[in-house]
Structure formats: C-alpha cells, structure tokens
C-alpha cells in the first residue's frame, strides 16, 4: 500500500532520516505519519516538507497541512525545524498564531514555540526536548489504531450495536455505532466525524461523546437513549487517517464535497453512509470538523438550501442556544458567512442531509489553535477539551429532541 511518506535528498526513503550531526533520527513511517526530509546535516537547522494528499479534482488542488513525525536521540538538544513548504500548503494564512503540538508519551500534548515567516513561507518550530524521543504534529493525532480501540470498547457496552456498513478504497472497515433501539416515533440522531482525516480533534470529540453516551450512570445519556436512537460514525475517512492526509481519502476525494452524487468506486465512505441514512432515516445530524484559521467553536448552518424554512431556522436557533448553555466553548458570534437563499453548496454533507431529510443538520467546527474567548496557554485546544466539548453536545441534543419533528 502506498502510504505517501517519503524522504528526499541525502536521506533514506519512506519517511526516515538520520542527522549527520548528533545521531538524531526523524521517522514518520507509521499510522497517520507525514513528513518529508530535505536536509538533516545540522540539529539546529533541520529542513522538512509536508507531503501533500493525492490531487483532489473537486477542489482542484493537492491538499497539505497535516504533519506528524517522531524525533529520537534529542534529549537536551536545541532543535530548530523548518517546514519549508508551509507557504504552499492549503491554508497558509492559518499558520499565523499557530503553535505546533508535541508529546513525549503520545497522551499528553503541549504546544511548542512556532513562527511563520510570510515572506519565505517557512514554518519554524524551536524546542529543546526533555526526553530522548518526542512527537510533533499539526494536532494531537487520533490514529487508526486508536480508532479501532474506540470501536472495540464501545461496541462491548450495553445497548450498543456495531454496523459494518462497507469498505474503503484501501479495504478498511467503515464502522457505524448504533446506540439505543429504533422504534416508532423515536427520532434518529446522527453524529459523524473526520470526513477530513487531518481534523483529528473531531474524533477526540466523538470519543468524549461516546464515553458519556455509554455511561449508564449519566442521567442525560440514559434519557436520551430512552427517547431517541443515536448513530455515531467516529471516523468517516479511515484511509486518509492511516495515510496521514489532511482532507482526502485514498482516491484523492474530499468526502465533504461528495454528498450530491457519491460513487462506490472513489467515495465509498459517503456512498455507504448515505445508503444507511436513507434506510434508517435522519431527524438530526451533526457533522464534526476542525477549522485551521478561526479560534472559535461554531457551526455552519444550512440556511442556503432550497428547502430552508422557518421550522428549520427555529430548530437551528434552538440547538445553538442549548449548546451555549451546555458549553461556554460554543459561541455564535464568529464563524463562516451565511449562504444566501438557494446558494448552498449541495455537495456538502450538512446541506445535502438537511435538504434530503428536511431536518436539522449542521457542520460543527473546532479550532486547531485555541479558543480566543477561553485560551489555555500550555495545550491550546487539546484532546481533553475536544472530548469534553463532545460530551457537552448530549444535553443540547436532549433539549431539542422533542421539537425535531414537532408540527
């Protein structure tokens, strides 16, 4: 399998490089890894590149932003890492104010000094590690192996059913979790995450949501599963996760631009998911993402769809008010512009689902950096905060549940 991780220049292929000064190693040859190596002759001047996703015809671009690599033999060494193609990445303006993530144990992630030079287009990370090995990443990774563990432990919980709805281009399982029992008059609520694999905070969010939703001692979860059936797909794009992509699947498809006419050959993830949605029905959808630039948690609504109505507006407004009550990290002042009537991009999941099922459907965004309203200086936006933000979604859903199909 071509995992798209190579080194260049005087280093070995497949994402492994050794410095000629100090015996430092760089390695990205693993699940969710991504980096290319240009030059490692000096520990204080290591030159790197982010490897792009396969060319995406729907976006007319080769996406790049995600990096994830390990450095060893580095304890006490002053490292200066230059990502030389940062200016050619998908959202170069987003590098301003960004701080790279680092971890020694792959559990606790913290931010390290990072600067972006707009003239040269180079992103520079400076850090003196305290341990022999350190991991650097665009955001704390949620690897495919961790995803498999999440599915395994969740499907073993009470009242959880695992639906294997299809396979990806690379042959990975498409895992959908059903929590609660469908029944006449019970709404079907859908939460999907990680259409864009580099937005790993989305699966941390799903992890926290599932942890609370399967807690039999949590009153909100118990009542929610009594009154609704909840479908959760924590990772819609496992191929891109495994390969270390930012936005596309193995075929170079941006899945969140494939919902109008999904194809089983190149976008099987959406094809199979939409097929199951049609069979089960959808009364509410939250599609979870991460935003590279904006330092806020917010939603993008479905105002521009042809079927937008006062009922859908009331549902969306009610959901936003409920989520703000459930979590101070959610806000509605800052976000994307609202589509004009009839101008929605119908290839996007939340727009297509809102129109197809005449239901509340939103795209939920979290920051790669931090929230401007509630910053955390050591970790920024982190796995821990994303998990708690996911758990906070449940009371918001429970509050709007009675109104989803009310006349």
Instruction: Tell me if 2 is assigned to some domain.
Output: no
Predicted local distance difference test score (pLDDT) of residue 42: 86
Q: Within 10 A of 391 (CB to CB), how many other CB atoms are there?
A: 23
Predicted local distance difference test score (pLDDT) of residue 407: 54
Q: Looking at the predicted structure, is the pLDDT value of residue 22 above 80? A: no
Please say whether the dihedral angle defined by the alpha carbons of residues 132, 136, 140 and 143, taken in this order, is positive or negative.
negative
Same-domain status, 246 and 266: yes
More confident residue, 49 or 42: 49
Instruction: Tell me if 216 is assigned to some domain.
Output: yes
The active-site residue, picked from 199, 203, 211, 365, is: 365
Q: What is the dihedral of CA 207, 209, 215, 218, to 10 degrees?
A: 150
Q: How far apart are CA 213 and CA 142, in angstroms?
A: 20
Instruction: Tell me if 7 is assigned to some domain.
Output: no
Q: Are 134 and 25 in contact (CB under 8 A)?
A: no
Predicted local distance difference test score (pLDDT) of residue 57: 87
Q: Are 372 and 379 in contact (CB under 8 A)?
A: no
Q: How far apart are CA 110 and CA 107, in angstroms?
A: 10
Predicted local distance difference test score (pLDDT) of residue 310: 97
Instruction: Tell me if 300 is assigned to some domain.
Output: yes
Same-domain status, 184 and 271: yes
Same-domain status, 123 and 172: no
Same-domain status, 284 and 211: yes
Would residue 365 show up in a list of annotated catalytic residues for this protein?
yes
CATH at residue 240: 3.40.630.10
Q: Which helix (H) or strand (E) holds 224?
A: helix 219-227
Q: How far apart are CA 43 and CA 34, in angstroms?
A: 20
Q: Of 114, 137, 160, at which residue does a domain stop?
A: 137
Q: What is the dihedral of CA 11, 17, 21, 22, to 10 degrees?
A: -160
Same-domain status, 392 and 277: yes
Q: What pLDDT, in 10s, does the model give residues 24-34?
A: 999 999 999 99
Edge-to-edge strands, sheet with 25-27: 16-18, 25-27, 68-72, 133-137, 100-103, 110-112
Instruction: Tell me if 213 is assigned to some domain.
Output: yes
Q: What pLDDT, in 10s, does the model give residues 92-141?
A: 999 999 999 999 999 999 999 999 999 999 999 999 999 999 999 999 99
Same-domain status, 127 and 169: no
Q: Looking at the predicted structure, is the pLDDT value of residue 406 above 90? A: no
CATH at residue 28: 2.60.40.3120
Same-domain status, 157 and 100: no
Mean pLDDT, rounded, of the chain? 94
Same-domain status, 166 and 102: no
Q: Of 137, 164, 192, at which residue does a domain stop?
A: 137
Strand partners, 133: 72
Q: Range of 66's domain?
A: 16-137
Q: Are 343 and 304 in contact (CB under 8 A)?
A: yes
Q: Of 108, 137, 166, at which residue does a domain stop?
A: 137
Q: How far apart are CA 221 and CA 213, in angstroms?
A: 5
State the pairing for strand pair 79-83/46-49.
parallel
Domain count, the chain: 2
More confident residue, 407 or 170: 170
Same-domain status, 267 and 382: yes
Instruction: Tell me if 339 is assigned to some domain.
Output: yes
Q: What pLDDT, in 10s, does the model give residues 312-370?
A: 999 999 999 999 999 999 999 999 999 999 999 999 999 999 999 999 999 999 999 99
Same-domain status, 132 and 156: no
List the Cα angle 338/255/394 in 5-degree steps. Answer: 65
Predicted local distance difference test score (pLDDT) of residue 405: 87
Same-domain status, 173 and 301: yes
Same-domain status, 160 and 92: no
Q: Looking at the predicted structure, is the pLDDT value of residue 19 above 70? A: no
Instruction: Tell me if 6 is assigned to some domain.
Output: no
Instruction: Tell me if 30 is assigned to some domain.
Output: yes
Q: 352: exposed, middle or buried (C-beta count within 10 Å: 0-12, 13-18, 19+)?
A: buried
């Amino acid at each position: 399998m071509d995992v798209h991780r190579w080194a260049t220049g005087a280093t070995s292929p497949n994402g492994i490089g050794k410095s000629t000064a100090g015996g430092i190693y760089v390695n990205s040859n693993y699940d969710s890894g991504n980096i290319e190596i240009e030059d490692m002759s000096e520990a204080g001047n290591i030159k790197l590149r982010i490897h792009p996703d396969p060319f995406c015809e729907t976006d007319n671009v080769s996406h790049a932003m995600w990096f994830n690599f390990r450095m060893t033999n580095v304890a006490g060494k002053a490292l200066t890492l230059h990502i030389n193609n940062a200016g050619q990445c998908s959202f170069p303006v987003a590098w301003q104010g960004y701080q790279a993530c680092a971890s020694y144990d792959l559990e606790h992630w913290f931010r390290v000094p990072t600067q972006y030079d707009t003239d040269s287009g180079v992103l520079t990370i400076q850090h003196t590690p305290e341990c022999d090995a350190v991991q650097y990443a665009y955001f704390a990774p949620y690897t495919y192996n961790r995803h498999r563990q999440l599915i395994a432990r969740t499907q073993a919980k009470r009242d959880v059913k695992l639906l294997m709805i299809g396979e990806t281009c690379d042959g990975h399982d498409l895992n959908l979790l059903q929590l609660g029992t469908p029944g006449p008059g019970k709404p079907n609520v859908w939460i999907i995450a990680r259409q864009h694999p580099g937005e790993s905070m989305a699966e941390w969010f799903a992890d926290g949501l599932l942890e609370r939703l399967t807690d039999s001692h949590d009153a909100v979860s118990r009542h929610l599963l009594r009154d609704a059936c909840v479908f959760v797909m924590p990772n819609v794009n496992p191929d891109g996760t495994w390969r270390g992509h930012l936005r596309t699947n193995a075929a170079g498809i941006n899945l969140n631009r494939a919902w109008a006419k999904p194809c089983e050959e190149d976008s099987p993830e959406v094809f199979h998911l939409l097929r199951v949605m049609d069979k089960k029905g959808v009364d509410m959808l939250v599609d979870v993402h991460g935003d590279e630039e904006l330092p806020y948690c917010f939603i993008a609504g479905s105002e521009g769809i042809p079927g937008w109505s006062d009922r859908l507006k009331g549902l969306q407004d009610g959901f936003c008010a409920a989520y703000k009550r459930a979590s101070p990290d959610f806000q509605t002042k800052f976000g994307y512009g609202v589509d004009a009537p009839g101008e929605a991009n119908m290839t996007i999941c939340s727009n297509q689902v809102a129109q197809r099922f005449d239901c509340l459907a939103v795209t939920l965004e979290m920051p790669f950096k931090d929230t401007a309203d509630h910053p955390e200086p050591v970790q920024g936006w982190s796995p821990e905060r994303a998990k708690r933000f996911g758990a906070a979604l449940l009371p918001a859903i429970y509050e709007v549940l009675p109104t989803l199909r009310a006349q």
